[in-house]
Amino acid sequence: MCGPAGTMFCLGMSIFGSIFMGAMALMLKNEYQYLGEWYDTSEPDYPSYQEQRASALHNCTTVAAIYGGIAVLCAVGTCYHSFKAKRS
């Protein structure tokens, strides 16, 4: 396990990642017009625009949940280091 500075840094980055990916998922869900311009529907065997958007929404929410789980682990690590510092 890393030290208190490492767990705080990981906690901050995980919270940022979770918020950012959650915001991306929210924008995809609300069909924000400037998000999703990279979808390619020119080839006949490519999935439709709605299928690609649904896949991206699922991936964003999954990644946001993973970042949230990592944030919880880092918060536990931060509390552990705080408790350990108070006892010594």
DSSP annotation string for 46-79: SPPHHHHHHHHHHHHHHHHHHHHHHHHHHHHHHH
Q: Are 63 and 25 in contact (CB under 8 A)?
A: no
Question: Cα dist. 45→28, 31, 40 in Å?
Answer: 23, 23, 11
pTM over 0.75: yes
Number of domains in the chain: 1
Pick from 85, 86, 71, 66: nearest CA to 7:
71
pLDDT per residue as tens, the chain (88 positions): 578 899 999 999 999 999 999 999 999 999 888 876 666 667 777 777 788 889 999 999 999 999 999 999 999 999 998 888 888 7
Residue-number span of the structural domain to which 32 is assigned: 4-87
